[in-house]
Chain A
């Protein structure tokens, strides 16, 4: 290995020629430096040298580095690169260029490369086909399908691969017959998996069960790839349902054993894939290997999901295996979730013992399962759960007891009687939980119990009592809550301020204004927010004062409240929209957006270019909340340039909010973007009464496969909603 001392170091003063010479240097670090330096120069100056390096013989590193520089230039040099495609004069350079162009998508690239797919030189044609696949443009599909008919095995092989990369459903029918050709079989199965269209499920399952050895590993990977590549949760569910159906139809004897053997040993990824398919296949044979997989960190997620479904029919078998394995907390939790709802013999003891487990997530799952059973016999274990250190376990104990109490008046009395005594328990967690049960049961004397708890020595209990007292907004509670505002513990005072804020009482305003001067910033923050519900001139003045001079979180709370005192607060909020603190800007933009008619559009639109992503997000939310048609232009332009997925999601939502009809094309395009597809699908379903006809027209017109998959899910959901609405709704499945 080369030492740093012998490595030529770049100082930024190298000429283009010197940098070109370093493209093939033995050190990766030097090559990377040369690539970065060349990419910073004018392409007109470097292009001839790079094209020459791209075709250079002998030094693969130099060719790779030259390609890296071209990629960094990207779309800016597509024109010169496509013009440099000259397979007859510069065959090698053209082949290398096709590799580079495959990573610079765009219509110009596609049009330049398409004719080369049928070039007489097999290597040039293969490179062009590979390039078209990498470009993933549906316009390539007809040419690629034509290659399948060419009879050229080499090119056909590349075309199969490219069709998989493009991922267009139209290719499925043409690819399926090629599965029978052993030369193409693996390539076709891989391509079908990548395309991910539901119509490929039956042939893939057939390939899975007919493989030799069985199950066919490539088909196994392809079935998994289909699910992994699905862009929406509903799309995944649809695919899995189809796979279950086909597996049930085609599996025959022995497939479960074969899959189980794969799960039990072998390469981890294959084990994961086999575990998944085994879960879809189901049956008792699946339990032992899936349980063994549950004990391994890398497989717990897959095995746990598979067992979740199997638990309905095989809970006793799952339980028997679980007791013999060193399961992780996560593994145990998944077993409990799988068997918890079935009163199998032994499951009760299992759940009760799990309530004493060291890990709180295991205890929570066990308490939840027992709560779901709502069996009076479990009352004592649920009572014990009330005192658990973890509030999540305790909450399940409360839920279980309330479910038992709901069964009959006698059960209610029994629970009330049992819990009443717990308000004097030694454990503060137990006392707090008992208060919650008592308040929910609304037993006689509940009020007095809560009053007494306001003086409990432990703040947690006092805080719980305050929360329960303030829950219903009853103005008669003001006095008690005011006492809590003087509590020594800031969290109790916070809870009291929130409770006072909910009271429908004029006197609450004064109490909250006084709390704006509490010594805790969090109490002041809560007070500011709560004042939004108690508008008055003096409230606005106090909030403006807090928004200007306070510490940041109180400023933010005051701004949020001022947003609800619109339009009186408009001018003041506009003055804060350029504040130095991004959190203040963010709160301000959201508040301004709530202003509807008088919203300062220009100010919000300008913030779509804020350097801080969360501020841009807030600007989008603000514009969306404004519902102002004038916001559509700035929002759509921002969507064009924005690369951040969270902000893009906010922009799509805002476009839909301000003009649902015009947002259609943006939402449909976004179905193909993995990071925002769920948002787009949700909005399209939400607006189905406006969109349904247009979406069906889009479907009929033919669209790229990524969009098609998302659209299928959307149309299916729309169909369900329309069916639920009544006969006039019509069907929606594509």
Chain B
């Protein structure tokens, strides 16, 4: 679907976009059918706002028209993917909720190494968006373990091709560093002429990225068990059934004794009773029991 800025000639283009409730639901149902995600009811207002922005970008002023284009346009499929990116956009930055990042690099890494001497420690950042989270883990591991960090494999996954492309490029604007100590930024990034910062090869090669729909086929997800899975501020968008399904996937993909770290405002309450609660020194996590 070709994009063109709004042809709106006066006033606020967003306020001129018609979003009938039934069409909003139809569009969200299309997303559900294609990606398996069922957005929770409380997400609807946020979705409405993001949809309006998308329509303005495309120069459309009626959600009904957009819905038909998603259904019938030759490029409707790729637009549906772009829309999913817009709706499920997870704004992130380096060292977000950093106590969890350091917990992975310090406590969890040490414990998993002790549990399997000589084995590689594998971390999955699920829903990693543009890559700030897995790179933060890589930097934290390098900070704490230096060259021994090579024994750690980090896999970052996301549904969005566009986000993964940006993650692989590893170039970030200043806003991504709003919680990063300047010394760390200077150590692991090189400034670009355009004002962005490029991640250094040592960190880049610690992280593999792949596409994975948490509710669909495994996609690029490696056929291994992980020692830690981070999935932060992703499940908040989905309804309970979708969340349960994702948590079941995490359970299956965790090694025994492996850790699941959710966002600070998230929990497994009503989702699963198969994990035990694990107190870390500065945070809490869930843990798959050892048999």
Q: Which chain A residues have a beta carbon within 8 Å of chain B's beta carbons?
A: 1, 268, 296-298, 326-330, 357-361, 390-392, 394-396, 398-399, 429, 432, 436, 439-440, 459-460, 463-464, 466-468, 471, 489-491, 495, 521-522, 525, 551-553, 556, 583, 614, 617, 646, 649-650
Contacts and interface: CB of A to CB of B under 8 A. Distances in A.
A395 B6 contact: yes
B9 to A, nearest CB: 5
A436 B10 contact: yes
A575 to B, nearest CB: 22
Contacts of B233: 297
Given A329-B91, A330-B91, A522 B69 contact: yes
A490 B73 CA distance: 13
Contacts of A646: 21-22, 25
Given A392-B56, A614-B22, A463 B7 contact: yes
15 contacts: A268-B265, A298-B263, A298-B265, A326-B179, A329-B91, A390-B57, A391-B57, A392-B14, A395-B11, A463-B4, A467-B8, A471-B9, A521-B72, A551-B72, A614-B26
Interface of B: 2, 4-14, 21-22, 25-26, 53, 56-57, 59, 68-69, 71-73, 91, 93, 173-175, 178-179, 233, 263-265, 274
B5 A429 contact: yes
Given A297-B233, A297-B263, A614-B22, A391 B13 contact: yes
Nearest to B2: A491
Query: 10 nearest interchain CB pairs?
Result: A298-B265, A326-B178, A467-B7, A391-B5, A553-B68, A326-B179, A358-B173, A358-B175, A391-B6, A553-B72
A439 B7 CA distance: 13
B188 to A, nearest CB: 18
Contacts of B5: 391, 394, 429, 432, 460, 464
Contacts of A467: 7-9
Given A391-B13, A460-B4, A646-B22, 13 more contacts: A297-B265, A298-B265, A326-B178, A329-B91, A359-B175, A399-B11, A459-B4, A464-B5, A491-B2, A495-B7, A522-B69, A553-B68, A649-B21
A399 B14 CA distance: 13
Nearest to B263: A297
A471 B264 CA distance: 51
Nearest to A458: B4
Given A297-B233, A297-B265, A614-B26, A392 B179 contact: no
A552 B72 contact: yes
A471 B7 CA distance: 11
A459 B59 CA distance: 12
Contacts of B72: 521, 551-553
Contacts of B57: 390-391
Nearest to A439: B9
Contact of A491 (B4, B68, B174): B4
A470 to B, nearest CB: 10
Contact of A440 (B10, B56, B178): B10
Contacts of B91: 328-330, 359
Contacts of A556: 68
Contacts of B179: 326
B262 to A, nearest CB: 12
Contacts, number: 103
B9 A468 contact: yes
B56 to A, nearest CB: 5
Contacts of A551: 72
A439 B71 CA distance: 35
Contacts of A459: 4
A525 B67 CA distance: 14
Contacts of B68: 525, 552-553, 556, 583
A429 B233 CA distance: 35
A586 B11 CA distance: 32
Contacts of A553: 68-69, 71-72
Contacts of A617: 22
B143 to A, nearest CB: 19
Contacts of A466: 7
B93 A436 contact: no
A556 B5 CA distance: 25
A640 to B, nearest CB: 21
A466 B59 CA distance: 13
B175 A357 contact: yes
Contacts of A268: 264-265
Contacts of A361: 53
Contact of B13 (A326, A360, A395, A460): A395
B12 A395 contact: yes
Contacts of A358: 173-175
Contacts of B7: 463-464, 466-467, 495
Nearest to B72: A553
B129 to A, nearest CB: 13
A463 B59 contact: yes
Nearest to A650: B22
A495 B26 CA distance: 26
Contacts of A329: 91, 175
Nearest to A371: B12
B255 to A, nearest CB: 16
Given A436-B9, A614-B26, A392 B59 contact: no
A395 B173 contact: no
Nearest to A552: B72
A327 B178 contact: yes
A521 B72 CA distance: 9
A583 B71 contact: yes
A328 B178 CA distance: 9
A468 B72 CA distance: 29
Contacts of B6: 391, 395
Contacts of B175: 329, 357-359
Given A439-B9, A463-B7, A326 B93 contact: yes
Contacts of B10: 398, 436, 440
Contacts of A1: 274
Given A358-B173, A399-B12, A440-B10, A392 B53 contact: yes
Contacts of B73: 521-522
B278 to A, nearest CB: 18
Max chain A CB contacts within 10 Å: which of B11, B53, B72? Answer: B72
B227 to A, nearest CB: 20
A593 B47 CA distance: 31
Nearest to A521: B72
A467 B9 CA distance: 7
Contacts of A440: 9-10
A714 to B, nearest CB: 21
A171 to B, nearest CB: 29
A175 B178 CA distance: 50
